[in-house]
Amino acid sequence: MFEESPRTESPPTPEPPPTGDNAPPVPPRPPRVIWAYPALFALAGVWLAQGEGARGAGLLAGVFLILLVHAAWMHRTHPVSELCTALAVLPLVHLVPVLLGPWIAAGSPWHLGLASALLALAALTAARVLGYTPRDLGLALGPWRQRGRNGAASVFSAAVALPLVNMAAHTFVQAGIAVSGVGIGTLMLALFPTPGLVLPSPASPLPAMAALGLAGLTEELVYRGVLQHAAVRALGGTQGVVYTAVTFGAMYIGFYPLEYALAMGILGLGFGFLALRTGSILGIGTAHALANLVVLGYLPPAFLGVR
């Protein structure tokens, strides 16, 4: 009898990558024109600060319409369409205070507070249109990770203990970020002793303090909440944070010295990475509000040791 030689199976031939209609979709590359929008916002701010209100407001209105057309031209699920929709909120940062000027004294607490409330409403409306959840906007303490095994003890751990531990840990982190606002404000006050915005000091400082706090929270909702979430989806994590910080700094050009706008851009970069890492804007929003109070002298001078 002849013995059969063992069969050797040849390795399977790898299939060629799919082509044509069967190929997986390639992530779209964002157009470079999106980097022109921060420059246009900066130019409009320069014109408004120089008293050329009609030219500045006209440019902002034009950019607003261009952004809407740009968003509509792309597919509604395209990340750049989301980014353009989020950017469309930013012209209102300059236009709303100008439009409120004839009715409410510019620079007063009521002017700043109402403008901040309207901007927050616009940001939340854009988020609603884009389908963003509160967690997408960072309106949470942070990501929750619940892991457990079978058994009553593990069920209790996953359902009760882990959420409590996570909440305590995230609360501690956000509180630490919030307290840093005092140090940030002190540093900004030391570097720039004369801020561009000076609110009156009424007999009762509570309205001014509330307006400044609301302004800080609103800015973080607009920039690190809505805009950064859209930018990260369109550009990726690091580039999205950088784009948001550049835009944030550009919005200060004209109304403040150039070095102040640069400092705000750097601050926005730090806030952006904190929001990206922690998944929350609660801490940085509170830090921004505290920094506003420090810069404008509404916190005790003896506590700060600056003035």
**Using an 8 Å Cβ cutoff, are 148 and 136 in contact?**
no
What would the mean pLDDT of 208-220 be, rounded to a whole number? Answer: 91
CA-CA distance, 16 to 120, in Å (whole number)? 51
Over the stretch 215-267, which tens digit does the pLDDT of each residue have?
A: 999 999 999 999 999 999 999 999 999 999 999 999 999 888 899 999 999 99
CA-CA distance, 50 to 86, in Å (whole number)? 27
Over the stretch 128-163, which tens digit does the pLDDT of each residue have?
A: 999 999 999 999 865 544 444 444 545 444 445 556
> Residue 256 pairs with which residues in a beta bridge?
253
CA-CA distance, 81 to 303, in Å (whole number)? 47
SS3 content of the chain, % helix, strand, coil (to 5): 65, 0, 30
Check the CA dihedral 177-296-246-94 and report its sign. Answer: positive
pTM above threshold 0.75: yes
In the 8-state DSSP scheme, what is residue 193? Answer: S
